[in-house]
Copies of this chain bind each other. A is one copy, B any other.
Amino acid sequence: MFIDVLGSVAGLLTTISFVPQAYQTLKTRETHSISLPMYIIFTSGVFCWMIYGFALNAWPIVAANVVTFILSASILVMKIRYG
């Protein structure tokens, strides 16, 4: 039981953590100190986690990574746009 709760908390935190970054970037349009390679690699990795979750029918992994993918992809698009 404790382990399941810990895994859910870990997944929730690492997923929602991108909300403040996406919000700040959307509001300020300032992306200078954000690393473009980081978001290219990270967004690709999260995409792989999504496919992995689908392949295993592990819906918690799919759900968490769909949200993270949308957030990190939006930060990536803003980084490309605002430089």
Using CB atoms and an 8 Å cutoff, list the residues of chain A in contact with chain B. Answer: 2-3, 6-7, 9-21, 23-25, 28, 30-35, 37-39, 41-42, 44-46, 48-49, 51-52, 55-56
In terms of DSSP, what is the predominant structure of the interface of chain A?
Answer: helix
Copy tally for this chain in the complex stands at: 2
Q: Could you tell me the distance between the alpha carbons of A37 and B28 in the complex, rounded to whole angstroms? A: 15
Given A21-B38, A33-B31, A33-B32, A45-B6 contact (CB < 8 Å): no
Q: Do B18 and A49 have beta carbons less than 8 Å apart?
A: no
In angstroms, how far is the closest chain B Cβ from the Cβ of A16? 6
In angstroms, how far is the closest chain B Cβ from the Cβ of A54? 10
Contact of A14 among B2, B28, B46 (CB under 8 A): B46
